[in-house]
Amino acid sequence: MTSKILIIGACGQIGSELAQALRNKHGKDNVVASDIDSRNMEVVQSGPFEIVDAKDYNSVKNCIDKYDIDTVYLMAAMLSATGEKNPMAAWDLNMNSLFHVLNLAKDGVIKKVFWPSSIAVFGSNTPKENTPQHTIMEPSTVYGITKQVGERWCEYYFKNYGVDVRSIRYPGIISWKTLPGGGTTDYAIDIYHKALTEKSYECFLSADTSLPMMFMDDAIKATINLMEAPEEDVKIRSSYNLAAMSFTPQDLFEAIKKHIPDFTITFNPDFRQKIADSWPKSIDDTSARNDWHWQHAFDIEKMTVEMLEKLGEKYGVRIS
């Protein structure tokens, strides 16, 4: 029987590309996209779409009942930098939306849940290099706190109620399709836009701030691979570490400069520097690679070529 999928937060950075990938794979009529508004017309017009408030249990359940949904991808969240400006709003959205979906699964209304965690669960006392799957987690942002608490609840619902919930700790995600969305790693998206449109960029992190990053194609592939893995292969029900590459703003600048020689950069760290300094520099994702055979495809060079080519088409700029 074909799964009926609901994506909550389908107009966001990851949700919008996940919606397209799942519709291509399962057929557009089997993937319902939803969000609090209909701002992303590509998502809205490419298949079934509903206005759903992730904080409202009845709004979520009514959509699930209407389409006979069995699998939910809960992608709605307030990200790190935005969450620091609105702590209680971030807590409300990030936590209550998760409880609604977990409880619907516990009650047998849906069968399978994907919920994204983040490297923001780690803190300043976490080992910075090759951060282990199981380690000290003392997040310093409200976003990280919600993700750490969410991980514990996911594992609790699996162990106590048998809920088939699956999760990934996403690193910074880079895409040419969507604009930056309020995250600390979003400099790595904005820098490509500015390189093509202004030939200069002022970075809000220091030149040597190394962070784990991933190209969107790899993030979408990992998400779908995890959800399609046999249940017995999913051995971690809190959230899996996931990695592809780590680099600094200086590394990324140099990769772009190979294609745009007159590109310049300046560094003016702001409040996001403190957030970045609390996060890992690199991630050990051995568990994901062993349990469900995760493999990434993009490194910094391949990603840079793809970003500049696609954004160059958008802006009418040819690169070397």
Q: Which residues are catalytic?
A: 143
Both tokens of 233, joined, read: 């292969």
Burial of 68 (0-12, 13-18, 19+ CB in 10 A): exposed
Q: CB 41: neighbour CB atoms within 10 A?
A: 10
d(CA 289, CA 229): 12
Instruction: Find the farthest-apart pair of alpha carbons in the chain and give their distance in angstroms, rounded.
Output: 59
For residue 293, give the DSSP letter: -
Of 32, 25, 68, nearest to 48 by C-alpha is 32
d(CA 84, CA 17): 26
| Sign of the C-alpha dihedral computed for residues 126, 131, 136 and 141 taken in this order | positive
d(CA 11, CA 51): 11
| Residue labelled with tokens 């400069």 | 257
Alpha helical stretches, state H, the chain: 13-26, 41-45, 57-67, 80-85, 87-106, 142-161, 187-197, 216-228, 249-257, 272-277, 286-291, 300-315
d(CA 133, CA 188): 25
Helices 87-106, 142-161: axis angle to 10 degrees equals 10
Q: CB 262: neighbour CB atoms within 10 A?
A: 8
Q: What are 160's strand-pairing partners?
A: none
